[in-house]
Structure 1
Amino acid sequence: MTMRTRARTMTALLALAAMTGLAGCAPGPIVEDGPGEAGTLEVQKVNPADFAGQSLSYVYFTDGPDEAATRELIASFEEEYDVTVNLEVLPYSDLVTSVQARLSGGNAPDVVRLTGLTDFRADLLDLRTYLGEDYAEEFVDGPVKGVLGEYGEMLAVPSDLTLNGPFINVDLFNEAGVPLPDSEDPWTWDEMIDAATKVQEATDTEYAFAIDKSGHRVSTVLSQYGTALVGDDGAVLDEAKAVEALQPLVDMMADGRMPRDFWLGSGSRYEGANDIFLAQQTPVYLSGNWQVGQFADNADFTWAAAPNPCADECGGFPGGKYMGALAEGPNPALGAFFVQYMNTTKAQQKFIVAGGFLPTRVDLTERGVQYPVRQEDMDVFFADLARTPDLGYEANSQPSYTGASLELVDELALVVAGEKDTTTAVSDLKAKSEQLVEELQP
């Protein structure tokens, strides 16, 4: 399709979307002039040919191999629409403060890549203004929960999806004569711990099980026991289920089946246990699909992704990244169009294959994605997506989730250090989560 044909098609589609929005066909309140105002959505007509000669800035952080794919997609966008994209790659640790400083100084970028919207909800453009009221329907419901505003504003696009889940050292399992888990029939938590313990005892590994020091990763365990830190109804943690979920971790750190010192250092700061797994010090490691590429390159033993264990629920705990356009950016129309381009079926497939991510688009999720390496492991994560309960997506969409997850790490560390029992820590965690909800919920 030529640029001129694309331009005519886009203009016609957006004009149709505008008429639909003005007719008020969508259910529920939607935004007209800005966040917090319910009204009728007026979709702006955009002719992509009018962008020729214009430029935009994209503030970006990279997970590694995704950067090359991003640069290739940007080059295609620039060539097709005769525009310039100024890609600004920042360390992830600097991104939030840098963008906030630019907003305060009246120098907002056009587009940003984010891991969450909490810091920028008031600054993000409602993408429906240019892309139409139904644009969100191109994406899976779960990830979309994290990008919707109070009145249905679409404040960003969920550009990739991650899922927490375990990896196993196949060589150690085989040496111990312990059967491998069945990806079609997931093991229970008790079965996983029992298998890991048998492998540890038979092969004399230092540990049986490891998990990243991360509230997000431990939220996987909470989800599997049927609860979450926060949700649409506030601080929703079921204390009895949380105690049941966390006690096995506490017990394993107490008797040496999990690395205790690993959890007692570095405060609330994230620490990955991937080096413990790569050193073959544990046969089972709970992390997520982003490790597949690293293990393919660096592991000198046979390994595999394993299904998440089940308790009250199965599946993993979701995460991911977002692309959003800033309302105060110099060119919001081009910013919205760029976000759309980077998240078409073709573009998202290229991006997630390069980065080892999972898709957020409905069409890619339904038909599956072919990865260049370790397809069988990525398929394990795909299968677990279907088992993952909505409470994980709901928790991730809350402004209070990040703070609550840090409190989870702190409280668990206090239990491991012997300063609290699990029941008291969970009660305190619930109280702190309630306070965060009160402070941060809109």
Structure 2
Amino acid sequence: MKKSRLMAGVVAGLVIASTAACSSGAGGGDESEGLTFMFRGGEDEKAAYQAAIDRFTEETGVEVEVIVTDADQYATKLQAAIAGNTVPDVFYIEQANLQSYVNNGILMDITDQVAEQDVDLENIWEFGVNSYRYDGTLQGTSEGRLYGLPKDVGPFGFGYNKTMLEEAGIELPDADEPLTWDEWLPILTELTKDTDGDGEIDQWGTGLNVQWNLQSFVWSNGGDWTNEDRTQVTVDTPEFAEALQFFTDLTTEHAVTPNPEQAQTMDTYQRFMAGEIGFFPVAPWDLSVYNELDFDYDVIPWPVGSTGETATWVGSLGIGVSTTTDMPDEAVKLVTYLSADEEAQQTLVDANIQIPNRIDTAQEWASAPDAQPANRQEYLDIVEDYGRAMPAAFTYGAQWYDELWVNIQPVVDGDQPAAEYLAEVQPRMQALLDESNAQAEAAAAQNNG
């Protein structure tokens, strides 16, 4: 899964657009003898998918026209395709968009076709499969119908610059036992230094992004964004406030991360790759780049707050079929091939762009003697044991969740206490969540009617 921002809510005009799409009966709007497949990705992903699709064509005789975009352009181009009645036969879907696409007749129910193809869903990560199940009310449970299969599962791991810690004489973190915040902070302080003697800090303990990294801190401290049934926003709790305050204090009080001015000069992702940051997220989609770095690194559990239990998120992208396709059986066959075929999965894994969807393949991948990073098992532990869906992954749109980040900068800069901000933003988030849930109920009622 790439680190793109979740689409904010229901596409404007989606109902009108999907009605137009459903009236056509021609996938992609053309009378084609082949399939169209739209996805997003960098050069490594493009090459891997093209190789897998070429093999699919050899085995099935079904031609596939590939439509690939950059990650930042994908959502806009897919919206344009929906509005213009040119929906691809097969395309990437984000978890947060599945309900609206189903309720508005864009995504095809593929449950029966997948069953007929005898796909071993038990050998695909449960989180990935359930992400694309929807029963008309709840998404992400084992009870819903299938409207896609996982392109991948994306466990958001945490890593460290092993070479940096060894050179500093710091004991390496345990691969299984997470550091507590109190244990972690002195290490960050020791790593933060002026290495060239010019009076400016040029090496830091860590460097994190609040929008993508706060989740771990909140969850491991006993906080959360909503209650279990996703009806009540719960950001205004002491546990959540303590986690956000600790996160911001890393910069504003302890100075173990690049400050905003330093981050503008070079972002923390680039600084980690340059060997200037000790601890940093290491996700599977970055391995093809990180494995070429000039230092050794490895993956460990995220540091923990008051619960003592590590936490992080696991994402997913799915692959679904348009209701307008002229080749539904072939389209579902392409989805199952890309998601579950052993050889296709190996092609994608060899490109170092994801962990395997297939559990048996993933176990072999994690235990490989030449594994890089060495602790690949941590990714499997995240998917199987302790990873959580992003807070807006299974709600009807993400506006309520995005609201948290809109005015958070004064907190990040140390100009406003975390608890004060969270008390202010909770009512706005709640109103948006209420609206989202009402839209979900109305759309489900219309779809069922």
For the criterion TM > 0.5, the same-fold answer is yes
1:303 aligns with 2:297: yes
Letter in 2 for 1:381: Y
Number of aligned residues: 383
Give the stretch that moved more between structures: 197-206 or 284-293.
Answer: 197-206
CA distance in 2, matches of 1:156, 1:75: 21
Q: Deviations over 1:361-400 (max 9, x none)?
A: 34445555567751514233234444415xx227353235
CA distance in 2, matches of 1:169, 1:403: 36
Match of 1:283 in 2: 278
Of residues 354, 372, 382 in structure 1, which corresponds to 2:380? Answer: 382
Match of 1:40 in 2: none
Q: Deviations over 1:136-157 (max 9, x none)?
A: 5443222334212134121111
1:317 aligns with 2:317: no
Structure 1 residues 359 and 345 mapped into 2: Cα distance closer, same or farther (>3 Å)?
Answer: same
1:69 aligns with 2:48: yes
Of residues 172, 175, 178 in structure 1, which corresponds to 2:167? Answer: 175
SS state of the match for residue 324, structure 2? coil
Structure 1 residues 165 and 190 mapped into 2: Cα distance closer, same or farther (>3 Å)?
Answer: farther
Structure 1 residues 325 and 222 mapped into 2: Cα distance closer, same or farther (>3 Å)?
Answer: same
CA contact (8 A) 1:289 1:378 kept: no
SS state of the match for residue 64, structure 2? strand
Q: After the TM superposition, which parts of structure 1 deviate over 4 Å for at least 4 consecutive aligned residues?
A: 133-138, 201-205, 262-266, 365-373
SS state of the match for residue 174, structure 1? helix
CA distance in 1, matches of 2:125, 2:320: 17
1:399 aligns with 2:421: no
CA distance in 1, matches of 2:129, 2:391: 12
CA distance in 2, matches of 1:181, 1:188: 11
Q: Deviations over 1:264-304 (max 9, x none)?
A: 979xxxx962112123332112352322221222x222322
1:358 aligns with 2:355: yes
Structure 1 residues 316 and 170 mapped into 2: Cα distance closer, same or farther (>3 Å)?
Answer: same
SS state of the match for residue 183, structure 1? coil
Structure 1 residues 418 and 374 mapped into 2: Cα distance closer, same or farther (>3 Å)?
Answer: closer
1:273 aligns with 2:268: yes
Deviation at 1:75, TM superposition (A): 0.9
Letter in 1 for 2:191: V
Structure 1 residues 315 and 365 mapped into 2: Cα distance closer, same or farther (>3 Å)?
Answer: farther
CA contact (8 A) 2:245 2:417 kept: no
Structure 1 residues 86 and 345 mapped into 2: Cα distance closer, same or farther (>3 Å)?
Answer: closer
CA distance in 2, matches of 1:144, 1:168: 31
Match of 1:4 in 2: none
Match of 2:90 in 1: 111
Of residues 143, 149, 164 in structure 1, which corresponds to 2:134? Answer: 149
- What pairs up with 1:158-169 in 2 under 5 angstroms? 158-169=150-161
CA contact (8 A) 1:111 1:323 kept: yes
1:184 aligns with 2:176: yes
CA contact (8 A) 1:148 1:154 kept: yes
Structure 1 residues 105 and 278 mapped into 2: Cα distance closer, same or farther (>3 Å)?
Answer: closer
Match of 1:223 in 2: 219
CA distance in 1, matches of 2:261, 2:383: 29
CA distance in 2, matches of 1:345, 1:181: 36
Deviation at 1:124, TM superposition (A): 1.0
Deviation at 1:158, TM superposition (A): 1.4
Match of 1:251 in 2: 249
Root-mean-square deviation (Å) = 3.1
Gap runs ≥5 in structure 2: 1-31, 137-143, 196-200, 441-449
CA distance in 1, matches of 2:385, 2:304: 10
SS state of the match for residue 291, structure 2? helix
With normalisation by structure 1, the TM-score equals 0.77
Gap runs ≥5 in structure 1: 1-52
Structure 1 residues 401 and 307 mapped into 2: Cα distance closer, same or farther (>3 Å)?
Answer: farther
Letter in 1 for 2:315: G
1:415 aligns with 2:411: yes
CA distance in 1, matches of 2:383, 2:182: 22
Deviation at 1:429, TM superposition (A): 3.7
SS state of the match for residue 294, structure 2? coil
CA contact (8 A) 1:108 1:326 kept: yes
1:89 aligns with 2:68: yes
CA contact (8 A) 1:232 1:394 kept: no
Deviation at 1:84, TM superposition (A): 0.5
CA contact (8 A) 2:152 2:316 kept: yes
CA distance in 2, matches of 1:214, 1:115: 21
CA contact (8 A) 1:59 1:87 kept: yes
Match of 2:335 in 1: 339
CA contact (8 A) 1:249 1:258 kept: no
SS state of the match for residue 323, structure 1? strand
CA distance in 2, matches of 1:245, 1:400: 26
Structure 1 residues 187 and 427 mapped into 2: Cα distance closer, same or farther (>3 Å)?
Answer: same
CA distance in 1, matches of 2:391, 2:162: 33
Q: Deviations over 1:76-121 (max 9, x none)?
A: 1111111110001112222222222222222211011234341634
SS state of the match for residue 274, structure 1? helix
Structure 1 residues 278 and 405 mapped into 2: Cα distance closer, same or farther (>3 Å)?
Answer: farther
